[in-house]
């Protein structure tokens, strides 16, 4: 049998008195429930879609469905954009995910695009079980030559499922020919987080044009044979560095310069003249 010393007895009595008074549990004494079973974020209750009031000088969102209700699986994106169809007047765009928003932004910045509409139309189709479903198309893009294209955006894991492929075929069959000339499928996984952020900055700079800076930076890039980083162009551009930096973004957006958009596009980025 263990022989307890007087010190051991006194220490035990002190611990007992302290534990009877305290109202907390010290870290490491017992497992916390959330640490053992709760591995994800708390699921929030569904919230209604946002209703935007009138914004001076900005055209309202004209999609047939407002996708801004709260979701636990996707991030809703609301922004303003400009297209030739609206005489370059800012217009509210709403996307149900960052993949949709990034796809739309890339189309908006293309010189070949005349109009971009988010959540443009609904169609009814029969699923593989024979039930009637309603689907809202993600994007409708109109080219300057009049060609109209619907864009279906979904993440890669969903696109790999045979069920999704059958659903896409049913949606295509149910979409009236007068709505669009064709439809393409876009993998949202192609738009990494950094690519999306680069596209947002490009969109900002594209709609703050500076033709003088664009021309002088592009001329310097074509003239130089030894530049590697974006910052190598700054001393040879006859404009302040901040204007040259914005020009590089615009030149990448229109395809005159090339860069890896899955990395941060900044002064230490590798860029080159497009072939």
First-residue to last-residue Cα distance in the chain: 88
Q: Is the pLDDT of residue 165 over 90?
A: yes
Q: Is the pLDDT of residue 12 over 70?
A: no
pLDDT digits (tens, 9 = 90+) for 205-244: 999 999 999 999 999 999 998 899 999 999 999 999 999 9
Q: Is the pLDDT of residue 197 over 70?
A: yes
Mean pLDDT, the chain, whole residue set: 85
Q: Is the pLDDT of residue 152 over 70?
A: yes
Beta strands in the chain (DSSP E): 77-81, 91-95, 113-118, 122-126, 132-136, 139-143, 148-154, 182-187, 257-259, 271-273
- Greater model confidence, 141 or 34: 141
Helix/strand/coil for 78:
strand
Measured CA to CA in angstroms, residue 195 lies from 70, 158, 256 at distances of 24, 21, 18
pLDDT value for 18 = 52
- What CA–CA distance (Å, rounded) separates 192 from 197? 9
Instruction: Give the number of other CB atoms < 10 A from CB of residue 183.
Output: 17
- Helical ranges in 160-264 per DSSP H: 162-174, 193-206, 211-223, 241-253
Percentage of residues in the chain with pLDDT exceeding 90? 70
Q: Is the pLDDT of residue 9 over 50?
A: no
Q: Looking at residues 153-170, what average pLDDT do you find? A: 94
Residues 6+ apart with CB under 8 A from 211: none
Model confidence, pTM = 0.76
pLDDT digits (tens, 9 = 90+) for 50-86: 777 888 999 999 999 888 776 666 688 899 999 999 9
pLDDT digits (tens, 9 = 90+) for 15-43: 555 555 555 445 444 444 444 455 556 66
Q: Is the pLDDT of residue 5 over 70?
A: no
pLDDT value for 71 = 67
23-190: which CATH architecture? 3-Layer(aba) Sandwich (3.40)
In the chain, where the domains are located: 23-190, 193-273
């Amino acid at each position: 049998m263990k022989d307890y010393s007087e010190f051991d007895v006194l220490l035990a009595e002190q611990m007992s008195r302290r534990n009877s008074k305290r109202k907390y549990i010290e870290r490491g004494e017992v497992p916390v429930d959330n640490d053992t079973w709760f591995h994800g974020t708390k699921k929030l209750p569904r919230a209604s879609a946002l209703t935007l009031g009138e914004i001076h000088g900005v055209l309202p969102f004209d999609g047939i469905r407002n996708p801004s209700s709260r979701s636990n699986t996707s991030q809703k994106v609301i922004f303003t954009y400009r297209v030739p169809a609206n005489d370059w007047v800012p217009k509210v765009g709403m996307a149900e995910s960052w993949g949709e928003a990034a796809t739309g932004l890339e189309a908006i910045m293309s010189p070949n695009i005349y109009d971009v509409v988010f959540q443009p139309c609904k169609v009814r189709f029969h699923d593989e079980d024979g039930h009637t479903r309603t689907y809202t198309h993600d994007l409708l893009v109109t080219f300057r030559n009049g060609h109209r294209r619907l864009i279906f955006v979904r993440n890669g894991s969903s696109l790999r499922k045979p069920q999704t492929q059958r659903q896409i075929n049913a949606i295509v069959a149910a979409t009236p020919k007068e709505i669009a000339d064709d439809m393409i499928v876009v993998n949202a996984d192609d738009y990494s987080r950094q690519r999306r952020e680069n596209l947002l900055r490009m969109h900002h700079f594209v709609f703050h044009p500076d033709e003088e800076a664009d021309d002088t930076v592009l001329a310097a890039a074509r003239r130089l044979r030894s530049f590697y980083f974006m910052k190598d162009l700054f001393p040879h551009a006859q404009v302040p560095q901040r204007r040259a930096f914005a020009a590089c973004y615009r030149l990448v957006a229109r395809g005159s310069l090339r860069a890896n958009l899955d990395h941060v596009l900044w002064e230490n980025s590798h860029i080159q003249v497009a072939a």
